[in-house]
A and B are shown apart, each in its own frame.
Chain A
Amino acid sequence: MTLLAVDDVTVRYGRLTALRGITLAITEGEVLFVTGPNGAGKSTLLNAIAGVVPPISGAITLDGANVTGASPEQIARLGFSLVPEGRNVFAGLTIEENLKVGAGMRIDKHKVAGDLDFVYREFPMLAERRHTAAGMLSGGQQQMLVIGRALMASPRLMAIDEPSLGLAPKIIDQVYDILMRLRAQRTLTLLIVEQSSTRAMMTGGRMILMRGGRIVLEGDARDMVKDKALKQAYFGFGDH
């Protein structure tokens, strides 16, 4: 079943066109990687889905509902959770308060306590420091916190923008371990944006390559990366 459909979406910032007629669909339960160089429009794509930047044309459908031009809070309430680039923890709030903000909109309040326990089990470091201000955490810990916070919203589709940005390789492994485990346990659909295709190849799943606001290539991540010629031609950069 198609969970998210983006149909011919164009986004402009003033005179700059960031997305040029993007069309893609995500099936429930799958992992979709969006890769591409800087300025390809990856983050804009996520922001358009989240309702932060309105598309000037095209349509976005989330779980059957047309959400084109809807507000971020409406889209979040339909089960879309975005972990934006740069982590965006509420630095002055404690870890637990950050997590509670994530659960604020939920209707199934009785399940919130259980999910809080779940997040604390997955990220024991967060449990230890639950009353610490989130601004005191390291980059890796903040990444765990924002993923935990997004989970507290009990989303059906979770989008993550550059989860590996600025993190040590060991921490990146850990983040992906958790993401893949969560996906299996909670039937979570994932949309992951990464600049490099290495992670997509390691993890497997479908991959979209963007350049200049367009989708230039789409296919199984492992097949795509195997093809050296394609890689050189479309990626425009060497091995990562």
Chain B
Amino acid sequence: MTAALQIVFDALSLGGLYALGALGIALIFGVMRLVNFAHGDFIAFCVFAMLWPSINAAAIVFAGNLPFYLLIPVLLLVGAALSMLSEVVVFRRFRNANPATMMIASFALGFVVRHLLLMLYSSRPKSITLWPSLGLPVEIFGARIPMLQVVTIIITVAVLAVLTLFLKRTRYGLEMRAAAENFTMARMLGVRANNVILLAFAISGMLAAAIGLILATNSGTADIGMGANVMLIAFIATVIGGLGSLPGAVAAGFLIGAASVVFQATLPHDLRVFRDAFVYGAVIVVLLVRPQGLFAPKSAKQRV
């Protein structure tokens, strides 16, 4: 029972992380058909923004020293600003380019961000301690769960709830959903293309910052490649979820997280090192059965 509960919590926290990542990718894909492969580097950038630039092994904590009620908004702002800047400086020039061109532009941007970090901080991972008290376990129904996992799950749920409210209840959310389905039609109804796209980038950047915070708290290190793994899984989640579908991206993020944790717990000991191969194998099976994704958006369906 407690073992099962442990698995549930593991799955929810890991899945939540992937879901947040997938949302960041899917939001931008929805409004401009761009798969932003620089997203992983945005995550790393947000983490390093807490440190003072130096090439020493010991991190000089800078913004990271702020109390949490200041650090979180500051970091969200950093993520949003970086993301919006990338749209204004880079992606706006590729607005009507074909998706492959935009994707390559995003790879290039990712390289620039990564090498900027390399220049400022060197390639050595740095240790960074945020809120050590979150590492302590709490007891829930007899299972000992690290506080951080509980917090991660709460953050994910809160972010999803706020984003859902925003998309369903506000005018800008409505315009973003409309633009994601049919951008030209939305513009012909007066929806301002630049505003909607900029807003999508801002939200996506904030999601990257949230992931950066969770990763840094979890691992206690800042590493230039730290966003890459989440980015890769998040991208796969958006594909499995049906490209363009936000609920699909979230669901697929949770699904991959759950699959990962379940394989880890149930595979025979010798096979556990190959856990990722099993996860990606499952991904291939899903795509063979449903190449359009599990939750293809309604706009992609045939109409009468």
Contact = CB atoms under 8 A, between A and B. Distances in A.
Q: Do A and B come from one complex?
A: yes
B189 A91 contact: no
18 contacts: A71-B187, A73-B191, A73-B192, A76-B189, A76-B190, A81-B189, A84-B188, A87-B303, A88-B182, A91-B303, A97-B178, A101-B174, A104-B171, A104-B174, A105-B191, A142-B303, A150-B189, A153-B189
A91 B299 contact: yes
Interface residues of B, number: 23
B290 to A, nearest CB: 18
B7 interface: no
Contacts of A88: 182, 185
B190 A73 contact: yes
Contacts of B188: 50, 52, 72-73, 76, 81-82, 84
Given A92-B177, A93-B181, A139-B304, A101 B189 contact: yes
B175 interface: yes
Nearest to B246: A92
A101 B175 contact: yes
B184 interface: yes
Contacts of A73: 187-188, 190-193
Nearest to B192: A73
Interface string B189-201: 1111100000000
A84 B188 CA distance: 9
Contact of A76 (B182, B187, B297): B187
Given A92-B181, A92-B298, A77 B174 contact: no
Classify chain A: how many residues form its interface, as a range.
20 to 34
Contact of B175 (A77, A104, A139): A104
Nearest to B181: A90
Given A84-B188, A101-B191, A139-B303, 15 more contacts: A71-B187, A72-B184, A73-B187, A73-B193, A76-B187, A88-B182, A90-B178, A91-B181, A92-B297, A100-B171, A104-B175, A104-B190, A133-B298, A135-B299, A153-B190
Interface of A: 50, 52, 71-73, 76-77, 81-82, 84, 87-88, 90-93, 97-98, 100-102, 104-105, 133, 135, 138-139, 142, 149-150, 153
Given A90-B182, A92-B177, A97-B174, A105 B298 contact: no
A153 B186 CA distance: 12
Contacts of B190: 73, 76-77, 104-105, 153
A135 B301 CA distance: 9
Given A101-B174, A135-B303, A84 B185 contact: yes
Nearest to A137: B304
A77 B187 CA distance: 10
Contacts of B185: 84, 88, 90
B160 to A, nearest CB: 18
A138 B190 CA distance: 26
A13 to B, nearest CB: 14
Which of B181, B188, B297, B298 has the most C-beta atoms of chain A within 10 angstroms of its own C-beta?
A: B188
A52 B184 contact: yes
Contact of A72 (B171, B181, B187, B303): B187
Given A72-B184, A92-B297, A92-B299, A102 B189 contact: yes
Contacts of B301: 91, 135
Given A133-B298, A138-B304, A93 B189 contact: no
Contacts of B193: 71, 73
B111 to A, nearest CB: 32
Contacts of B303: 87, 91, 135, 139, 142
A89 to B, nearest CB: 8
